[in-house]
Amino acid sequence: MTWSTGDVVFRRGVWRGRPWYVGPKIVVQDRDDLLVTYAPHGAGVLLPAELGRKLIEDLAAETWELRPTTRYNHTLFLNPSGAAHSIFLFWSKDWELISWYINMEAPYSRRPDGFDTCDYQLDVVVSADLSEWHWKDEDHMEFAIDLGLISKTNAEEIRAEGERVIEDLEKRRPPFCDGWETWRPDPAWPLPRLPKDWQSLT
């Protein structure tokens, strides 16, 4: 299935077949090598009441619950096809670029109404001008390993994937040289919202 620019799809973060995150996104580009989606400030999103280490504990125990809330920034999501990561760009409500963000996650799989992935806990935060970066949530990954959510072998593979993306960043390879920081949405696009029967997405 292929989506058109302006279509609304739902990105889900799934653990053991059950979503722990659901957010509507507007399709920017859907190419063979890259899926680009956008979530504006104020868009609906489903999240657990608590994140961080508490969420990892809840994932291990399969006891989390989702609640509807709204986004507080503009976010562009770059999902390379078949890659174990995605790249986010965060802007403030007034379109000041806050940071780039490398999110380690399972390659996405498509559904008729969107796509699923699985977060791997480890991330990389990159400055707005791409001059600096640092690992984020290394302690969360170690905690996930301790609770059996991620094996040590998988953790090594996840970190290696991150290191490959960091090399792309430092050498200014795509997507870091493609001008995404200047991208802006079509002003005619409506604000994507969660459906009233949002439980159907979970």
- Fold (CATH) for 8-173: FomD barrel-like fold (2.40.380)
Q: Would you list the domain boundaries of the chain? A: 8-173
- Residue 174's H or E segment, with its range, is none
Cβ-based neighbours of 202, under 8 Å, separated by 6 or more: 18, 19, 22, 46, 66
The DSSP 8-state label assigned to residue 72 in this structure reads: S
> Cα dist. 180→36, 89, 124, 127, 197 in Å?
10, 8, 18, 14, 34
At residue 198's C-alpha, the angle toward residues 39 and 19, to 5°, is: 75
**Section 52-75 average pLDDT:** 93
What is the average per-residue pLDDT within 29-35? 96
Which pLDDT value is given to residue 109?
A: 96
- Two tokens, residue 169: 């960043």
Is residue 1 predicted with pLDDT exceeding 80? no
pLDDT single digits (tens) 12-24: 999 989 999 999 9
Q: What is the pLDDT of residue 153?
A: 96
Q: What is the mean pLDDT of the chain?
A: 95
β-pairing, 114-117 with 8-15? parallel
- Give tens-digit pLDDT for 104-136: 999 999 999 999 999 999 999 999 999 999 999
pLDDT at residue 199 in the model: 80
Which tens digit of pLDDT belongs to each residue from 189-198?
999 988 888 8
> How confident is the model at residue 90, as a pLDDT?
98
* 28 token code pair: 């920017």
CA distances from 176 to 64, 127, 168, 170 (A): 35, 12, 8, 9
DSSP designation for 201: G
pTM: 0.94
